[in-house]
């Protein structure tokens, strides 16, 4: 899958930004828990902290960013990576995996997904690639970071961009419901034809190498919270399938 991988320095900046932002979010939760009688609403700020640090660390590696508006007051940060005289769009999202039922696996690509227009950016490059992907019996749901994002999705508003991009990536990070640690970070590209997230590279190995280490003390403020109680994920109509490169399937022996 090398043809679609980002430069490792870019990937490292995204991973470091994700971890540093999550650490700052945890510190904020701790601070508000100590100073306020009720502070659970700060769970909504996790995505802001992570986007903020990805933008700050990424600037040192030629990762540009701008704030876009969707829906009413919902703002999201989109990153632009410039490589090989091309511009690639990147967004960073918390995700979770849900096992597909047999009926789900037979469903066609969902045209109502709020990222379907952005996924269209990848149509030609994925169609012209010789890489084969193997569909997994999983569904990927992305976190909705803001009440207005939830509202926009419910009302069927599509995300669109005005700038021309050659590729569209979604960096997904998963947080373990028990440990509250970031357990995986993956670089994916949504396929417009199938509405699957195609795994381009598993960046989880960079978590171990990062200077931003999350400890049990860091996550203590949220240890008694369930992710499902503090996080809203996109439902079935806005979920993605999940595909991995054929060679990774063969290496796993499955």
Of the candidates 77, 107, 109, 98, the residue with the CA atom closest to the CA atom of residue 228? 98
pLDDT of residue 229: 63
Q: What's the pLDDT score for residue 102? A: 46
CB 222 within 8 A of CB 26: yes
Please give the pLDDT value at position 147. 74
Q: Closest Cα partner for 147 from 49, 44, 69?
A: 44
pLDDT in tens, 83-113: 888 999 999 999 998 876 545 544 555 566 7
Which helix (H) or strand (E) segment holds residue 233: the answer is: strand 232-233
Report how far apart the first and last C-alpha atoms of the chain are (Å, whole number).
19
Q: CB of 94 within 8 A of CB of 173?
A: yes
Q: What is the pLDDT of residue 162?
A: 73
Q: Which residues contact 47 (CB under 8 A, 6 or more apart)?
A: 92, 93, 94, 143, 145, 146
Determine which helix (DSSP H) or strand (DSSP E) holds 14, and give its type and residue range. helix 8-35
What are the residue ranges in the chain where pLDDT is below 70? 1, 69-76, 100-112, 227-230, 248-254
Nearest to 29 by CA among 44, 14, 51, 50: 44
DSSP 123: H
- Across 49-205, the runs of DSSP E, i.e. the strands, are 63-70, 74-83, 86-99, 133-144, 167-175, 182-191, 196-202
């Amino acid at each position: 899958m090398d043809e679609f991988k980002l430069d490792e320095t870019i990937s490292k900046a995204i991973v470091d930004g994700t971890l540093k932002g999550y650490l700052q979010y945890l510190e904020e939760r701790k601070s508000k828990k100590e100073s306020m009688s009720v502070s659970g609403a700060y769970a909504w700020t996790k995505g802001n902290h992570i986007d903020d640090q990805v933008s700050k660390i990424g600037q040192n590696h030629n990762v540009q960013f701008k704030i876009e508006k969707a829906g009413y007051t919902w703002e999201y940060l989109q990153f632009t990576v410039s490589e090989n005289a091309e511009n690639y769009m990147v967004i960073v999202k918390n995700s979770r995996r849900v096992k597909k039922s047999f009926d789900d696996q037979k469903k066609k690509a969902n045209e109502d997904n709020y990222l379907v227009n952005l996924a269209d950016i990848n149509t030609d490059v994925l169609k012209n690639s010789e890489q084969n992907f193997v569909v997994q019996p999983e569904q990927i749901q992305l976190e909705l970071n803001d009440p207005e994002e939830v509202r926009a999705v419910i009302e069927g508003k599509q995300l669109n961009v005005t700038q021309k991009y050659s590729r569209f990536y979604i960096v997904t990070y998963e947080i373990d419901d028990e440990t509250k640690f970031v357990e995986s970070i993956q670089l994916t590209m949504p396929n417009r034809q199938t509405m699957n997230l195609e795994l381009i590279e598993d960046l989880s190995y960079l978590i171990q190498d990062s200077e931003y280490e999350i400890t049990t003390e860091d996550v203590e403020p949220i240890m008694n919270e369930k992710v499902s109680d503090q996080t809203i994920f996109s439902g079935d109509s806005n979920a993605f399938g999940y595909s991995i490169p054929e060679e990774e399937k063969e290496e796993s022996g499955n």
